[in-house]
Chain A
Amino acid sequence: MKAEIEVLQPGLFSSIQDLGRFGYQKYGVPQSGVMDRYAMRVCNLILGNPQDASVLEITFQGPQMKFNAATAISISGGDLSPILNDSPVSLNEIIPIHRGDVLKFGTRKSGFRSYIGILGGFQTGELMGSKSWYESLTDDFRLRKGMKLLFFSKDMEERKTHSHLKTDLNYIGSTEIETYPGPEFGELSAQQRQKLFSVSFKTGKNSNRMAVQLEEDFENELEPIITGPVVPGTVQLTPSGRLIVLMKDCQTTGGYPRILQLSEKAQQVLAQKMPGEKITFKKVEY
């Protein structure tokens, strides 16, 4: 019998992700991959998985899922109150799963995205060297009701696991976004630069895996650039004066001035911010 998870309720937005795609950006294919690499790492370390084993990334409101075989899972990142068969379970610990168990989520306690790791990773389809779902590329791009996710049923005792892993989850509550100057940073005026690092910005409602838009208007006189490369963490300044922080599913090229470039850690911090939360940029140098 195939070991699978049945999706009873899909939640707000959940998708299978790993470290993303490499070698296909020259064809215009985004990197994708988990928004919070640290949480994915914790999930896999706890289970003794390879560090690139795929995880389920869930957003704000978690799904409800039923396991038809025994395994073990781990949950890290934001705390969306995971509940196994009506009892709360802890984050950052190994969670044994028995046949018929049902996992669901309650109210959000911290962060915005939570991650579910499973022994051996999810055995879902791979495309271009990655299991990451992306809307215009993979057959599935979000969890749907009734969907089945395959996994390897394994006896937990066979595996060497790190169930007492030390984690530092302070980044989830942090509002400080570390950023390097971007390629067009030098074209900003002294006042603009000063403003960037002294005021706080609010994350916009229409933020997703492609980009986080910031709500404040930012004075802009910069012309668009000749379309150039962008990567996750690039902050663009639009002609109308909006700051757009590109995230993992972003396009490979863009024509707006790239004024900042978030550190890897800052991308994790931002991935855990709810729409409407305040952030501040902190300048760091290479």
Chain B
Amino acid sequence: MADFPLISPMGERAILIDFGQDYSPEKLRELLFYKKLLEKELLKETVEVINTYNSLLIIYVFTIEDIYSEVSKLKGLFKNANIPKKINSQIFYLPVCYDEDFGPDLKLISEEKNIGIDEIIRLHTTPLYQIYFIGFLPGFLYLGGLDERLHISRKKTPRKSVEKGSVGIGEKQTGIYPKSSPGGWQILGRCPVDLFDKNMDPPTRFSAGDKIRFYSVSKDEFFKIKEEVENGNYELKSETYESGN
């Protein structure tokens, strides 16, 4: 078995650091610790470090001159690191309207899983979802922690357009469409809060390591929040918490 993390070049402008197949919130903490360390040790202006479930990728603005010495420098960094047990992160509370007008697949999920719609809502709003990373589309959050009872396969034929803010389930994952786009997830509701605003810096409030909890709102509340979001006076509920062993 290979020794993890595995550090190897991915083309002339990126180095991939692979932490093995499994993933968990604990492993994410380790990844994010190394990510911070890399950002500190490597010149911030010339690289960007991104993480996924089980890997880090260092992207260089310019081609790497000497890949061998860069890789061995990184190996040294990883050898000497002390991973802290606890880190601070944020919990965000996101409103979702689980009305059938916004959740066209609620009935289908209910029938296929033999769970009442109220129970679907309860199961979906109970977990503290872990944000593993943002990818796929600008502002799309990869969330972990969906209740097994809600795991459901994607649509055989994806919809041509899924409305912005739609909350859906695809296999073991749940997530929110940050903009209208084609998509194959089963849609159970809609969130009135913008996940990505290109004119903000940073363009999203959320980062890898943060957590999210959904709460159910009525249609009236949905439109009220939507209006506040559009007028720029909506305040997203959040709190800081310490995670760790």
Which residues in B have their C-beta under 8 angstroms from that of A233? 11
B94 within 8 A of A: no
Chain B residue nearest in CB terms to A29: B138
Which residues in B have their C-beta under 8 angstroms from that of A22? 48, 59, 61
Q: Is the CB of A264 within 8 A of B11?
A: yes
Report B49-88 CB contacts with A as 1/0, cut-off 8 Å: 1111111110101010001100000000000000000000
Chain A residue nearest in CB terms to B12: A264
B129 within 8 A of A: no
* Interface locus among A60-68, A199-207, A224-232: A224-232
In the complex, how many angstroms separate the beta carbon of B33 from the nearest chain A beta carbon?
16
B179 within 8 A of A: yes
**Please, how many angstroms separate the alpha-carbon atoms of A228 and B10 in the complex?**
12
Interface residues on B, range: 35 or more
**Please, how many angstroms separate the alpha-carbon atoms of A252 and B8 in the complex?**
18
**Please, how many angstroms separate the alpha-carbon atoms of A28 and B23 in the complex?**
20
Chain A residue nearest in CB terms to B208: A26
In the complex, how many angstroms separate the beta carbon of A89 from the nearest chain B beta carbon?
32
Q: Is the CB of B9 within 8 A of A28?
A: no
Q: Is the CB of A226 within 8 A of B21?
A: yes
Which residues in B have their C-beta under 8 angstroms from that of A263? 11-12
Question: A26-B134, A137-B198, A286-B67 in contact; A229/B9 too (CB < 8 A)?
Answer: no
Interface residues of A in 18-43 (CB under 8 A from B): 19, 22-29, 31
A88 within 8 A of B: no
Question: A128-B198, A227-B53 in contact; A253/B12 too (CB < 8 A)?
Answer: no
Q: Is the CB of B57 within 8 A of A229?
A: yes
Which residues in A have their C-beta under 8 angstroms from that of B139? 27-28
**Please, how many angstroms separate the alpha-carbon atoms of A128 and B55 in the complex?**
25
Q: Is the CB of A183 within 8 A of B203?
A: no
Which residues in B have their C-beta under 8 angstroms from that of A264? 11-13, 63
Which residues in A have their C-beta under 8 angstroms from that of B48? 22-26
**Please, how many angstroms separate the alpha-carbon atoms of A276 and B130 in the complex?**
44
Q: Is the CB of B137 within 8 A of A228?
A: no
Task: Report B's interface with A, CB cutoff 8 A.
Answer: 8-14, 16, 18, 21, 23, 48-57, 59, 61, 63, 67-68, 133-140, 142, 178-179, 181, 196, 198, 201-204, 207-208
A-B contact pairs, 22 of them (CB 8 A): A19-B61, A22-B48, A22-B59, A22-B61, A24-B48, A25-B50, A26-B50, A26-B51, A27-B203, A28-B134, A28-B196, A128-B198, A136-B179, A183-B8, A226-B54, A227-B53, A228-B53, A228-B55, A229-B52, A229-B56, A251-B137, A286-B67
Task: Report A's interface with B, CB cutoff 8 A.
Answer: 19, 22-29, 31, 127-128, 136-137, 180, 182-183, 226-229, 231, 233-234, 251-253, 258, 261-264, 286
Known: A26-B134, A28-B178, A264-B12. 5 other contacts (CB 8 A): A27-B204, A28-B134, A128-B198, A183-B16, A229-B16
